Amino acid sequence: MSGPRNTARTTGRTPGGTPYTVQGTGPHPVVLIAGAGGTGRIWEHHQVPALTAAGYRVITFDHGPEAAGPGTTGPAAAGQTAGPEDAGRETAGPEDAGRKAAGAETAGRAAYGAEAAGPGALAARTVELLAALDLPPCPLVGHSLGALAVQELLLTDAHRVSGALLAATRGRSDVLAEALARAETAAAYAGTRPPPAYEAFVRLVLNLSPRTLADEGAAAEWLDLFELAALTGESAAADRPLPPLGHRLADFGRIPVPVLVVGFADDVLAPAPLGREVAAAIPGARYAELADAGHLGFLERPDAFNGLLLDFLATLAPTDPGVSHAP
């Protein structure tokens, strides 16, 4: 990750209305797909700088309510934020300078799918982005709902992908996910929301690891941003009930590209054993697990996550930017 940082940045919208950002001028693109909050900003403090410094061209995009994708609307807004490393340690607290995007990976979004806001719709939006930018087959990196979408895309449009990193993913629902779905449904039908301070606390313990929670300074900063998201309504997506994800593991035997699944040891929304199941179901896939990391492990332990990401990308055969995109 040495060398000058490539900071070239352009923005635009696809014909379907999806806002995207391209950073870096390297010849090899990498597409990062956020979770349920739907904002590409979640990658910008840690992953985008690491990738552009390594010579990649990085594409992020929004799929929240203001991003009108092909044939659907995204889930309700719930922003996300990146966090700085804490005094030389990998456990990170959230960044509060220009990154008001906390709480997006919340309340079980990873565990559920729906026609308008689920993995299939996000996969379709991603395909539209790849086509609109005329990208060659390239690596996709998905987190949570973004990872579920990449899995669906690999079953329908694998010719557009040279490899995939799936973080905080699963191939089926489980007892806890179904219980959370029932609780969200009950809360939605009741027509009430908890006080922002309570909502922020729930977000905190659902998304972060015990190591981060034990750091009082980091925990206080995360609480502030989760509460801000609740106060501004940005975390309202967590209150929308969605049907359970189907059992997809048997289908994953048809995925033909290299895959790395990354699990976070303390993730309660996408438990690491379920990610290991996904890796076992995909031919040739590898599995790695980060300790001391919750559902937002790529922000809690950014150096470790970025190391896994860059090492994986280095194993992929480079794609000629002029290669045909036809299957």
Residue 295 appears among annotated catalytic residues? yes
Residue 144 appears among annotated catalytic residues? yes
Tokens coding 303: 């150096």
DSSP reduced 3-state for 217: helix
For 8, 306, 324, the CA distances from 137, given in Å and listed in that order, are: 22, 21, 9
Helix, strand, coil % in the chain, rounded to nearest 5: 40, 15, 45
Annotated catalytic residue, options 62, 215, 267, 292? 267
175 by Cβ neighbours in 10 Å (0-12 / 13-18 / 19+) ranks as: exposed
3-state SS record for 8-44: CEEEEECCCCCEEEEECCCCEEEEEECCCCCCHHHHC
Annotated catalytic residue, options 28, 62, 143, 144? 144
Q: Could you give the angle at the alpha carbon of 213 between the alpha carbons of 287 and 203, nearest 5°?
A: 80
Tell me how far apart the alpha carbons of residues 244 and 237 are, in angstroms, rounded to a whole number: 16
Nearest to 233 by CA among 78, 35, 37: 78
Residue 325 appears among annotated catalytic residues? no
Tell me how far apart the alpha carbons of residues 207 and 36 are, in angstroms, rounded to a whole number: 13
Q: Which residues contact 214 (CB under 8 A, 6 or more apart)?
A: none
Nearest to 82 by CA among 122, 125, 48: 48
DSSP reduced 3-state for 313: helix
Whether 217 and 93 have beta carbons less than 8 Å apart is answered as yes
Tokens coding 252: 């994953």
Whether 264 and 297 have beta carbons less than 8 Å apart is answered as yes
Active site residues: 144, 267, 295
